């Protein structure tokens, strides 16, 4: 069994095994002509069920053969230009090299004595990111597992900075289309169920600042504490960017922590064309950045950044066996002092490889391309009488629904769109997402693949219309 341990005696096995794994993925990606096979849970489950984990195959090739059947063949492939569903990006190759290196070396970024250079690389990337945001000289941050964790940590710091022992009085303000992790964080932080005040959005799905001002004032008058405003720079559904400068002004006025959830919009930090769309982000107290959304990084890769490094102390605990207090005085950089996690992947390496090989402008170029594609997609949709499209994109999502000719019943239109999404998924020809707007079912494209063309968008729209029409035809037959 020791021959499976990666060490100085097994590097040949390591090289050949990993190469074999990579060859399988490369072959699969080279020949995958649809984002999904349309496999169903019922069809796939028995293949996984029947595998006896207590009877190993003892052979990497055989296990990879098996993996082809139970995973690689039917996985959902984000690299495919007609994968248009969630906030998943195709990944850049330098980052994948980073992933291979980091899992093999297996540094853990909690302490210097488990990481050494990895710690310094992560710190440099945090500084790079805070500089791009413009958070100022006292800024700091730490890599996290994703936007949900980044938002949680930011709100933890905000709660502590609110300096009250009466959690019941704390209020968080976020728009009605902010990410659900805001509410989840409030719950995890022990805040009351009504602690998150949901603010209305304008026609472009941006937080209404008049409503925010009103609610902040009301909070003050009611003797409550405005703990944080969460502004979203790139909402999950619409890519809308809340008016950051106006929100920052109000936060100054009311002494409220400003958290900017830029999990999605952070890609603009590298854009030469569109960076100004997130102007005002530099006024945040904390920012969430998901490199695994708009920096084309493999999952997971995210960071929480703060204006004032001292606020990270709210996540600091010392353990004698790990990061004793004396190490702070010895200036030993233990990232665990800033993190909610202890053992932590060296995800930063992927971004490092990306910046060193491609450069930040290269990422920005890719992100600009998907934003431009979304703008073209919007034009297609707006000109097509078969569809109703919700807002002009600020980033790269399109929310729309098929409006069949001669059908006026909104519930029937809902059903037709739900059917179209399901049928498309089952066919594997394309994968699209869905959401609700004004209580009605809509479909969503999240464009994060620069290889997706306007022709792809047009084809998928035709497929959707075809499926919806098929549903309506069958529904008429059923009724007659």
Ligand X SMILES: Cc1ncc(COP(=O)(O)O)c(C=O)c1O
Contacts to ligand X by CB under 6 A: 87, 146-148, 151, 179, 181, 232, 234-236, 261, 263-264, 290, 302
Q: Note every long-range contact of 240-243, with CB atoms under 8 Å and residues 24 or more positions apart, other chains counting.
A: 240/177, 240/201, 240/204, 240/205, 240/206, 240/391, 240/394, 241/206, 241/265, 241/277, 241/278, 241/394, 241/395, 242/175, 242/206, 242/207, 243/206, 243/207, 243/209, 243/280
Name the minimum Å distance from CB 424 to ligand X. Answer: 21
Compute the distance between CA of residue 227 and CA of residue 246 in angstroms, rounded to an integer. Answer: 18
Residue number with CB closer to ligand X (260 or 413): 260
Check if the beta carbon of residue 279 is closer than 8 Å to that of residue 245: yes
Compute the distance between CA of residue 287 and CA of residue 246 in angstroms, rounded to an integer. Answer: 17
Name the minimum Å distance from CB 180 to ligand X. Answer: 8
Residue number with CB closer to ligand X (416 or 448): 448
Name the minimum Å distance from CB 179 to ligand X. Answer: 4
Which helix (DSSP H) or strand (DSSP E) does residue 439 occupy? none
Facing residues of 464 across strands? Answer: none
Residue number with CB closer to ligand X (448 or 465): 448
| Both structure tokens of 259 | 């958290």
Name the minimum Å distance from CB 184 to ligand X. Answer: 10
Residue number with CB closer to ligand X (130 or 149): 149
Compute the distance between CA of residue 114 and CA of residue 105 in angstroms, rounded to an integer. Answer: 11
Name the minimum Å distance from CB 271 to ligand X. Answer: 18
* DSSP reduced 3-state for 402: strand
**Residue facing ligand X at closest CB distance:** 147
Residue number with CB closer to ligand X (239 or 428): 239
Indicate the burial class of 144 (C-beta count within 10 angstroms; 0-12, 13-18, 19 or more): buried
Residue number with CB closer to ligand X (264 or 425): 264
Residue number with CB closer to ligand X (325 or 436): 436
Closest C-alpha to 448, from 298, 294, 267, 273: 294
What are the residue ranges of helices labelled H in 162-288?
Answer: 181-188, 209-221, 244-254
Name the minimum Å distance from CB 156 to ligand X. Answer: 15
Which helix (DSSP H) or strand (DSSP E) does residue 115 occupy? none
Residue number with CB closer to ligand X (432 or 472): 432
Residue number with CB closer to ligand X (111 or 181): 181
Which helix (DSSP H) or strand (DSSP E) does residue 360 occupy? helix 360-382
Name the minimum Å distance from CB 448 to ligand X. Answer: 11
Q: Give first-to-last CA distance, the chain, whole Å.
A: 68
Name the minimum Å distance from CB 178 to ligand X. Answer: 7
Do the strands 170-175 and 196-199 form a parallel or antiparallel pair, or are they unpaired? parallel
Compute the distance between CA of residue 386 and CA of residue 94 in angstroms, rounded to an integer. Answer: 41
Name the minimum Å distance from CB 305 to ligand X. Answer: 14
Name the minimum Å distance from CB 165 to ligand X. Answer: 29
Indicate the burial class of 346 (C-beta count within 10 angstroms; 0-12, 13-18, 19 or more): buried
Residue number with CB closer to ligand X (101 or 299): 299
> Looking at residue 134, what DSSP letter applies?
T
Residue number with CB closer to ligand X (114 or 178): 178
Closest C-alpha to 118, from 127, 109, 110: 109
Name the minimum Å distance from CB 437 to ligand X. Answer: 16
């Amino acid at each position: 069994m020791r021959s499976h341990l990666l060490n100085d005696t097994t590097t040949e096995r390591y090289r050949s095994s990993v190469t074999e794994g990579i060859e399988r993925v490369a072959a699969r990606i080279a020949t995958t002509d649809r984002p999904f096979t349309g496999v169903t849970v019922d069809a796939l489950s028995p293949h996984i069920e029947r595998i006896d984990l207590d009877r190993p195959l003892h052979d990497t090739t055989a296990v990879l053969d098996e993996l082809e059947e139970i995973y690689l063949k039917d996985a959902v492939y984000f690299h495919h230009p007609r994968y248009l569903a969630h906030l998943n990006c195709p990944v850049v190759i330098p980052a994948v090299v980073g992933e291979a290196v980091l899992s093999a070396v297996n540094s853990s970024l909690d302490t210097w004595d488990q990481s050494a250079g990895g710690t310094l690389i992560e710190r440099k990337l945090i500084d790079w990111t805070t500089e791009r945001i413009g958070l100022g000289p006292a800024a700091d941050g730490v890599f996290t597992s994703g936007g949900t964790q980044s938002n949680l940590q930011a709100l933890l710091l905000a709660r502590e900075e609110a300096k009250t022992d009466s959690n019941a009085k704390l209020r968080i303000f976020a728009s009605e289309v902010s990410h659900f992790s805001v509410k989840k964080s409030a719950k995890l932080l022990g805040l009351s169920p009504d602690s998150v005040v949901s603010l209305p959005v304008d026609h472009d799905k941006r937080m209404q600042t008049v409503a925010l001002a009103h609610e902040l004032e009301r909070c003050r008058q009611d003797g409550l504490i405005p703990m944080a405003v969460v502004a979203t720079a790139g909402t999950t559904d619409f890519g809308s960017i809340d008016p950051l400068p106006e929100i920052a002004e109000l936060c100054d006025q009311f002494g409220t922590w400003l958290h900017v959830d830029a999990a999605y919009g952070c890609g603009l930090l590298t854009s030469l064309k569109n960076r100004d769309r997130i102007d005002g982000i530099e006024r945040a107290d904390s920012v969430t950045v998901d490199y695994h959304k708009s920096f084309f990084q493999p999952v997971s890769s995210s960071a929480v950044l703060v204006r004032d490094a001292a606020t990270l102390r709210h996540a600091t605990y010392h353990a004698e066996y790990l990061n004793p207090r004396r190490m702070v005085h010895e200036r030993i950089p233990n990232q665990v002092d800033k993190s909610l996690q202890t053992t932590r992947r060296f995800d930063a390496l992927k971004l490092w490889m990306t910046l060193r090989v491609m450069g930040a402008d290269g990422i920005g170029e890719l992100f600009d391309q998907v934003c431009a594609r979304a703008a073209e997609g919007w034009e297609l949709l707006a000109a097509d009488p078969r569809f109703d499209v919700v807002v002009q994109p600020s980033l790269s999502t399109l929310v729309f629904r098929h409006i069949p000719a001669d059908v006026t019943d909104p519930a029937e239109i809902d059903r037709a769109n739900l059917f179209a999404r399901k049928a498309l998924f089952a066919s594997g020809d394309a994968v699209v997402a869905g959401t609700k707007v004004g209580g009605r079912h809509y479909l969503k494209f999240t464009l994060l693949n620069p290889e997706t063309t306007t022709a792809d968008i047009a084809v998928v729209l035709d497929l959707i219309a075809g499926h919806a029409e098929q549903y309506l035809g069958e529904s008429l037959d059923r009724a007659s």
